[in-house]
Amino acid sequence: MTVGIALAGTSPVRADEPAPSPTTDGRLVALPATTTGDLAEAREWAAALRRVLAAETLTVVPNDEASGTFEARVSSPAVALSASDIERWVARSQSAVRHLARADYDRARADLLEAHALASGAADELNREAERARQVLDTCLYMVRAYVETRDDESAMNQARACRQLVPGAEPSPYRHTPEVRDIIARVDRNMAAEAPGQLVVTSEPSGCAVRLNGIAFGVTPFRMDDLAAGEYRLQVECDDVERGRIRRLRVNAGETTVHVDGAFDTAIRSRPGLGLVYDGADQAFALAGPHALAVAAALDVSEAWLVWVVEPGRVRVDRVTRTDVTSVWLRAALAQPSDADATLRTAVRHLRAGRSLDLERPEAQPGQGLRVPASAPTPETGAPVVDDAPSDGGPDSGHPPRSNGRRVALGITSGVSAAALVGALGLHIARLHRGEAFALYFTLSRQAAWIDLRLPSTLLAAGGGALALATLPGLLPEREGVPPGAWIAGAVGVGLAAASVGSVLARESCSDFGMDRRACIEREQAGDRAILLAAGAAPLMLAPLVYALRPARVTPELEVSRAGAWLSVRGTF
């Protein structure tokens, strides 16, 4: 028996001090998992783990919140209808027809609204049978009749379009609708045909899986549909003849919409009540749990996943899964003794956040591999792998502090503003040169004012842009060992600009009397402006190699002492 809990998050922790406060994208999510089909014990371990994580000052995403986010972004389970639900829907449909025949539109509308609400929420189940799908369409169109007979043509058109999208590709019963309703349907069909169609492309692993839209079967993967009306649909891809496919809500617009479905991931994931992973055996879990945990983490916008497995009664394995590595800790714990279980789990969490694999019962033994190392990171929507070739931006495996997406965006915006300020200052300086030439050729008060007016804006923009670049550059430069060649080149260019700035100051012409020698005074003042502009550009460039040279080595000693033994390690950049 194997039961597990998946966690997702970031940030390393020292073993001899409390865990650091996580960043906004370092929250954790607990996922019960099992190879026996029963998630009850896994949920108990999830509760224990949440206590430990709270004590370690980490933020845990509640399971209901994680489930809701996953279903909104990825998929939800197929709707299950009972016989009584179907009977109620049929009864409301028949009752509505009787009320329409008597022109009792209020009661007809009440029955139709109830029937339509049930059909809209369970169309993927009701539409699986062709005759029932037609009945769903007919019932939906009875609402069109109610609008037509109460002279609400606009609502009738909107309702007819909604009916067409609710049961795509189906045709209504030929003799159940009035000529006015059939005319509305024809008008809606013409309008939809005149619109730019959407294309839906569906692939899956494995291929050959049935594709259903709102419950109606349209083909098998790889699947393409080129004339789909724009709108919202519920897609099911079913690789199993018995199990209903999970529902993906998608919006099809003009152009191509592409969806890829990992059948193994859809089979393993559970989202009610709460997220969970279920596997058929230990071998399947070993091969798939790592990529699947990362897929869930990606869907929830966290970058790392942790798994806790009950290998046997009292014997637990905790795995930390990243995009490139898996580390594992084996331990023995009993939930019947909460304090001991929490202490042991806390030790495991700290070892894994420090990147150590270990068997706490046998610390001298060589630890094995709990899960297969994921080849690449899966996408949140489908679990399909994508290759991440981007350089490390920090995090628990890079040896550098993690940099949150929000901080990267803020730094990017700030650096863009500083660059724009420097470019703007250069533009104003060039404009001032032209105005200075005109002022030197012929004196007028308006030309003098136009020349003077540009001095303060150009100087302030140059100084502000340079200062902003100096402030943001250390945070923008990626982590590297030593000083990279590009930084040396930037520094050399900066030194050249600084020399040009000094040269501009030293080479300025003398100006004893503005009225007698106007051109010399104008050029002297403009040379000072040019020196400020060159210095503003030189400062951040010269700072680049200094940032790399002066960054301190991040070396952290770590000490862990427990009843099972003691460990002393040094971690960081040497």
Mean pLDDT calculated for residue range 493-506? 83
Task: Give the per-residue pLDDT at 237.
Answer: 93
- Rounded to whole angstroms, the Cα distance separating 45 from 276 reads 13
pLDDT value of residue 433: 81
- List b or e across 560-569, with b for residues whose CB sees 16 or more CB atoms inside 10 angstroms: beeebeebee
According to DSSP H, which parts of 235-306 are helical? 263-268, 282-299
pLDDT in tens, 165-208: 888 888 888 788 888 888 988 988 888 888 888 899 999 999 99
> What's the confidence (pLDDT) of residue 513?
66
Following DSSP, what letter does each residue of 481-544 receive, concatenated?
A: SS--HHHHHHHHHHHHHHHHHHHHHHTPPP-S-TTT-HHHHHHHHHHHHHHHHHHHHHHHHHHH
Selected residue with higher pLDDT from 13 and 136 = 136
Q: What is the largest CA-CA distance in the chain?
A: 104
More confident residue, 256 or 45: 256
pLDDT tens for each residue of 365-387: 887 778 887 765 455 454 433 33
For the chain, the residue count is 574
- Sheet containing 198-205: order of strands: 223-228, 198-205, 255-262
Query: Between vectors from CA 3 to CA 14 and to CA 79, what angle results, nearest 5°?
Result: 115
> What average pLDDT does this structure show over 45-69?
82
Tell me the C-alpha distance between 339 and 318, whole Å.
18
Q: Convert 149-166 into a string of H (helix), E (strand) and C (coil).
A: HCCCHHHHHHHHHHHHHH
What would the two tokens of residue 142 be? 């009875």
Reference 266, options 122, 70, 80; nearest CA is 70
Backbone angle region of 116, left / alpha / beta, with phi > 0 → left and psi within -120 to 50 → alpha: alpha
Only one residue has tokens 């040896």, namely 399
Burial 436-451 (b: 16+ CB within 10 A, else e): beebbeeeeeebeebb
CATH number of 198-268: 2.60.40.1120
Rounded mean pLDDT of the chain? 77
Question: Which of 193-202, 269-278, 328-337, 561-570 is least confident?
Answer: 561-570
400 φ/ψ angles, rounded to the nearest 5 degrees:
-125, 155
Whether residue 57 is predicted with pLDDT greater than 70 in this model: the reply is yes
pTM above 0.85, yes or no: no
Q: Tell me: the pLDDT tens digits for 343-353?
A: 888 888 888 88
Domain extent listing, the chain: 3-75+271-386, 83-188, 198-268, 405-550
